[in-house]
């Protein structure tokens, strides 16, 4: 019966470790919203930048495969997906994602078969919110995503990522909603 | 605790001794045998047990709902703590029940059910707190796998029922229409197999018990519901063929494990098999080529292996029932044969012969029940026979090109005939019972 306590403790410990000791990346968002009856209301997160280049060494990557995405930051602190590979990077943070489509770049100057890009489903796909605030959160998120002021802060460590916070116009979602409701 | 059946038996024993059919020593031995049988749980009333289990599950559901509300005022750390607290409480209750109240079915059923629901609640709450992804299928898989030990720590029904509900629900989420999802099929099969030792232990008991009945119903309903979702890409006739196989297997398995049960609701395997047999017979009684150009059974290695396993299982149960001189109704036992025959005939272009075979099968089945009902003086069998025949006749009338007036008259005649036969036979049986007693 100890396993029933060991499993949740292990899960909490693992995710807390990522949140406290992982590096924080900002991912720009675009809007969607479903409902998960079992786990309460959440805002589904969809990312603007989900395309990533593939090196010629990883030409075996096809749609439906799970790959490792190396991630870096631009000069504004937003995440940049550097590379998709079949093995994890030892030089930068990474996370796993599934490829949903692939594109061979035609640069227009001749068919460049060495330049491939894949589009991946980024696994950090939800942010749970308080039931009464859910509708308001949804519309704020959509508006924020529309004017590109919405982004998710994600902690990544050793291939694991955890959504830390959802920001609208530079403020955490709940704070933004509370300020909005007072006006 | 005396059941209705043992009370009846104890009441019969003095008469049997008086008439010299058994000796007093035999009567005492019979009384001693039934008193010595282990009870399903300790002394308890069924209603108390049910209310205890329902109460625990409702409390658990309330806690889940409240936590789903998602308390933003709490910090992440406190939310993590609250995600574990219900599980800790459930563990404490279960531990207390296991150590101090192990003989109380009410305690064990309610605490194990509460623990299972708190387990999944805890997992869901952790997902919520850390905004984790994953699908309902993943959550159900982890929940079911973690719940397996609860099936065996103390053999009570509630964990088994919740477990079967979990794996069945997960099977219905399988999206296998375009392509068979082998992972879903394998995981369902493995999870069901994980529960088989529990099922076997419950079924081999010769004593009628709620646990045995519940386990049987859960098993047949789970398999019956999960199959079309897991194999939704199979063609129509292949699905019907597999249901034919399952009907025959369930019927013969029921003859081994539920042979002596009085009522149909206490015989889940046989009841579902008979429903399956009748439904398949009615389906094949139609000439399907009028509606669609269906192809035959899509034989694959997996289907062939499954068929062989089912046939071997049927043979095993048949021999087992035959040795114990248990009566086997040939109609549900032969469902797979009739199904296969009808599909083969339809696929080779002999659709009218296939339809004739199916119609004859249902008609003969109905007549069989009528005869059995009259011989053994059981109105339930007579009614079943009448129902089979009447429905067949009515459905054929629907098929025919007769006008509404004639169809209406036919329905009235069949319905009146049904009632008249029922009243006549009922009176005859009562008269016959009065003469015999």
DSSP three-state, residue A1 = coil
Distance from CA of B174 to the nearest CA of A (A): 17
Q: Which of B69, B87, B139 sits opposite A5 (nearest CB)?
A: B87
Mark yes or no for CB contact A131/B146 under 8 Å: no
Phi/psi at B309 (nearest 5 deg)? Answer: -60, -45
**Strand arrangement of the beta sheet that strand A23-31 belongs to:** A126-128, A42-47, A23-31, A150-157, A160-168, A171-172
Q: CB-based burial of residue A150 (10 Å sphere; 0-12 exposed, 13-18 middle, 19+ buried)?
A: buried
C-alpha–C-alpha distance, residues A30 and A148, integer Å: 8
> Measured between alpha carbons, how far is residue A63 from residues A100, A105, A115 in Å?
5, 16, 16
Strand ranges for B146-207 from DSSP E:
none
The burial of B272, by beta-carbon neighbours within 10 Å (0-12 exposed, 13-18 middle, 19 or more buried), is given as buried
Q: Tokens 């797979």 sit at which residue?
A: B336
Contact B156, B198 (CB under 8 A): no
State the Cα–Cα distance between residues B264 and B63, nearest whole angstrom.
38
CA distances from B2 to B35, B105, B124, B259, B264 (A): 8, 17, 44, 21, 22
pLDDT digits (tens, 9 = 90+) for A75-97: 888 999 998 999 888 888 999 99
Residue B184 token pair: 């879903």
- Phi and psi (nearest 5°) for A128? -75, 140
**Residue A132 carries which DSSP code?**
G
Q: Does A13 touch chain B (CB under 8 A)?
A: no
- How many interface pairs between A and B have CB atoms less than 8 angstroms apart? 83
Measured CA to CA, the distance from residue B331 to residue B283 in angstroms comes to 16
On whether the CB atoms of residues A9 and A17 are closer than 8 A, the answer is no
> Can you tell me the ipTM of this complex?
0.82
Q: Is A130 on the interface with B (CB under 8 A)?
A: yes
- pLDDT means per 10 residues in chain A (183 residues)? 82 92 88 49 82 83 89 89 89 90 60 70 86 70 70 92 90 80 49
Which residue, B87, B171, B75, is CA-closest to B124? Answer: B87
A57 at the B interface (CB within 8 A)?
Answer: no
Contact: B70, A127; criterion CB under 8 Å:
no
Q: Do B80 and A124 touch (CB under 8 A)?
A: no
Pairwise CB contact (< 8 Å): A39 & B119: no
Per-residue pLDDT of chain B (437 residues; tens, 9 = 90+): 456 678 788 888 888 888 888 888 888 888 888 765 544 444 445 666 777 777 777 887 777 677 656 566 678 888 888 888 888 989 998 999 989 888 888 888 889 998 998 898 888 888 888 988 888 899 999 999 999 999 998 888 999 999 999 999 999 998 877 778 888 999 999 999 999 999 999 998 766 688 899 999 999 999 999 999 998 888 888 999 999 999 999 999 999 899 888 888 889 999 999 999 999 999 988 876 665 666 778 888 888 999 999 999 999 999 999 998 888 999 999 999 999 999 998 888 888 888 889 999 999 999 999 888 888 888 888 889 989 988 888 888 777 666 677 667 767 777 787 777 778 777 777 776 666 55
Mutual angle of helices B136-153 and B105-129, in 10-degree steps: 150
Residues of A in contact with B133 (CB under 8 A): 123-126
Calpha distance A148→A138 (Å, rounded) = 15
**What per-residue confidence (pLDDT) applies to A39?**
47
Rounded Cα distance, B7 and A143, in Å: 73
d(CA A42, CA A136): 12
A41 chain-B contacts, CB cut-off 8 A: 70
**Do A39 and B128 lie within an 8 Å CB cutoff?**
yes
């Amino acid at each position: 019966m100890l396993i029933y306590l060991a499993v949740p403790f292990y899960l909490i410990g693992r995710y807390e470790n990522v949140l406290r000791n992982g590096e924080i990346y900002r991912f720009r968002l675009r809007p969607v919203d479903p409902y998960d009856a079992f786990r309460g209301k959440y805002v589904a997160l969809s990312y603007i930048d989900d395309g990533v280049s593939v090196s010629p060494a990883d030409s075996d990557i096809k749609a439906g495969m799970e790959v490792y995405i190396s991630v870096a930051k631009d000069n504004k602190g937003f995440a940049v997906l550097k590379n998709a590979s079949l093995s994890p990077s030892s030089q930068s943070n990474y996370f796993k994602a599934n490829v949903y489509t692939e594109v061979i770049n035609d640069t227009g100057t001749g068919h460049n078969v060495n330049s491939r890009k894949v589009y991946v489903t980024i696994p950090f796909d939800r942010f749970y919110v308080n039931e009464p605030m859910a509708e308001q959160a949804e519309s704020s998120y959509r508006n924020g995503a529309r004017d590109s002021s919405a982004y998710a802060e994600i902690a990544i460590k050793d291939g694991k990522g955890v959504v830390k916070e959802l920001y609208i116009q530079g403020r955490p979602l709940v704070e933004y909603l509370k300020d909005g409701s007072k006006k | 605790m005396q059941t209705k059946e043992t009370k009846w038996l104890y009441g019969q024993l003095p008469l049997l001794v008086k008439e010299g059919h058994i000796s007093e020593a035999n009567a005492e031995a019979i009384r001693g045998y039934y008193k010595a049988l282990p009870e399903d749980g300790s002394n308890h009333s069924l209603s108390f047990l049910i209310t205890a289990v329902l109460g625990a599950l409702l409390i658990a559901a309330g806690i889940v709902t409240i936590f789903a509300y998602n308390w933003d005022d709490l910090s992440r750390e406190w939310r993590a703590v609250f995600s574990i607290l219900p599980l800790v409480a459930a563990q404490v209750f279960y531990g207390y029940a296991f150590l101090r109240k192990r003989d109380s079915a009410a305690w064990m059923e309610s605490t194990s059910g509460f623990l299972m629901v708190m387990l999944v609640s805890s997992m869901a709450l952790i997902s919520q707190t850390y905004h984790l992804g994953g699908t309902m299928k993943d959550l159900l898989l982890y929940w079911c796998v973690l719940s397996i030990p609860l099936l065996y720590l103390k053999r009570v029904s509630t964990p088994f029922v919740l477990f079967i509900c979990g794996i069945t629900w997960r099977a219905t989420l399988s999206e296998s229409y375009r392509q068979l999802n082998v992972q879903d099929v394998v995981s369902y099969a493995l999870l069901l197999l994980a529960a088989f030792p529990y099922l076997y232990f419950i079924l081999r008991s010769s004593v009628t018990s709620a646990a045995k009945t519940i386990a049987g119903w859960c098993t047949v309903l789970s398999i019956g519901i999960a199959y079309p979702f897991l194999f939704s890409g199979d063609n129509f006739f292949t699905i019907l063929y597999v249901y034919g196989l399952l009907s025959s297997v369930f019927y013969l398995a029921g003859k081994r494990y539920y042979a002596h049960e009085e009522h149909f609701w206490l015989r889940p395997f046989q009841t579902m098999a008979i429903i399956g047999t009748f439904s398949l017979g009615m389906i094949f009684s139609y000439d399907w080529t009028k509606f669609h150009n269906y192809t035959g059974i899509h034989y694959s290695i997996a289907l062939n292996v499954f068929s062989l396993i089912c046939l071997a299982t049927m043979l095993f149960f048949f021999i087992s029932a035959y040795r114990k001189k248990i009566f086997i109704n040939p109609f549900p036992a032969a469902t797979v044969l009739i199904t296969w025959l009808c599909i083969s005939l339809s696929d080779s272009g002999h659709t009218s012969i296939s339809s004739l075979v199916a119609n004859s099968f249902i008609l003969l089945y109905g007549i069989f029940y009528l005869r059995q009902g009259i011989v053994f003086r059981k109105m339930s069998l007579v009614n079943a026979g009448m129902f089979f025949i009447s429905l067949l006749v009515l459905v054929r009338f629907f098929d025919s090109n007769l006008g509404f007036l004639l169809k209406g008259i036919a329905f009235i005649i069949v319905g009146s005939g049904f009632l008249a036969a029922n009243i006549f036979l009922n009176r005859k049986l009562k008269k016959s019972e009065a003469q015999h007693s």
